[in-house]
Structure 1
């Protein structure tokens, strides 16, 4: 199926253009209004990173819709942050802003991916996206029995960039550096560099991801180190597939909902691979 920006009926007059730094506050207000955890800092990251392409939709001067796409070289683009103001839902606007983001990146990369909820999945399937795996959201605090030995603080993205690239098959150092540059972020890494995790603050709490590790035992040590770094605060983490989900459940975390990871034009394990236990967030892949 071929998408064009006019393939859906315009239910209302909306002006689309890329987001800029001056729009970060409005984007944060929009995502907050619909209950998302994104902060102004997150939107400032999106508009400042050259690898991130953005779309905003304005009606009568008000920002009413957003979408983002993170491009990892020419290999993968990850679409996310599809937010629509409550009064404009179920009027085709979410489809239109997704369509804009999709049209912007699909000829730039080999694979386009996203994580779909039940509402969006039929729209993405109609656009040619195929199911790849189930992503499960876990929440809670890891068991006090887990041992954090052999794990230390992580502050330098260069230390883990090579390890990360061998697992996800793209270079994400720019993203990892941006996450770790946030003074509120907590990163942990094993002393032998066989795994790492990053915890970032959200408007509603903490989110952990990416988390990459050589095995389940290392994953549990990383989760214990995150637990200690956050002083026992609860967090969310997104398991990519059944094995990571089982590891998080065994650590004492609770599953709360699922999404479907989808890719275009064919089913591809984009940004997943051996040892990729948790994604960087649904907006980042």
Structure 2
């Protein structure tokens, strides 16, 4: 794949990303202040090599967008990034159009994303509509890097619980995340993943049948990592998750808007105590 985009006669190419692009992609996400690590980028490319797109100008990667497909029911758009000096030239829109064309070709009924305020008008023009706010909460600490200490493994009850909460099967993603996450628990009542981030460690995904189960999981994680700082992303419809974050010493840091294109697709937000990531759902 590779096609030229006319930008004032500057050599510009829209193409698929490869693992060789990870350092340049990290420059983009770091410039934006995001929490992704090189392994986050590699996982996206492993998940779907044909769903990671970039714009190259004079041989340099200047913009990205990713599309993760969860079967044929749902696709998730993420990592919509453009270098500051190249913004306002339509690169993000071209990448999004390419990603959405792929989703349409695959017959995917629903596409979702978590939009920043800056990106929201672009997404609206592409047919996205508001679903609900998603908030990032933060708990300060020493920012030490967590170590992966897997105490449990994924099992069928855990995957079934996740599918019902999320609205579709994303076991492929969970297996990928499990390779580099600590799984604090994996039972019929709930599970919790946690993983390292560039800025802070990350709480999520966490699926639990009630607040008490979620509290046991997340409280134990924080207790076992006494000096760490954490990001925790919460869907606004789960008020129990918000109150739990407050009780555990987290503070709201930023708010995005979850948007949807196509058919409505909902699971059970009351069981989603932490999402997997803005770029993952």
CA contact (8 A) 2:168 2:267 kept: yes
Q: How many residues align?
A: 267
CA RMSD of aligned residues (A): 2.5
Partner of 1:97: helix, strand, or coil? Answer: helix
Alpha carbons 2:128, 2:259 under 8 Å: kept: yes
Q: Which residue of 2 aligns with 1:250?
A: 247
Structure 2: how far apart are the matches of 1:248 and 1:260? 19
Q: Hey, what does 2:197 align to over in structure 1?
A: 202
**How far off its partner does 1:128 sit?**
1.1
> Offset of 1:249 from its aligned partner?
2.0
Partner of 1:193: 188
Pick one of 278, 281, 284 that aligns with 2:277: 281
Residue 277 of structure 1 deviates from its aligned partner by: 1.8
Match of 2:256 in 1: 259
Alignment of 1:31-180 (within 5 A): 31-50=29-48, 53-108=51-106, 109-140=108-139, 154-159=151-156, 160-180=158-178
CA 1:228–1:186 in 2, change beyond 3 Å: closer, same or farther? Answer: farther
Q: Does the residue aligned with 1:106 lie in a helix, a strand or coil?
A: helix
Change (3 A) 1:29 1:141: closer
Contact 1:207 1:237 in 2 (8 A): yes
TM-score (ref. length: structure 1): 0.85
Query: What's the counterpart of residue 24 of structure 1?
Result: 22
Contact 1:80 1:284 in 2 (8 A): yes
Contact 1:52 1:71 in 2 (8 A): no
Moved more, 51-60 or 256-265: 51-60
- 2:212 paired residue number: 217
TM-score, normalising length: structure 2: 0.86
Q: Quick one: which of 209, 214, 231 aligns to 1:236?
A: 231
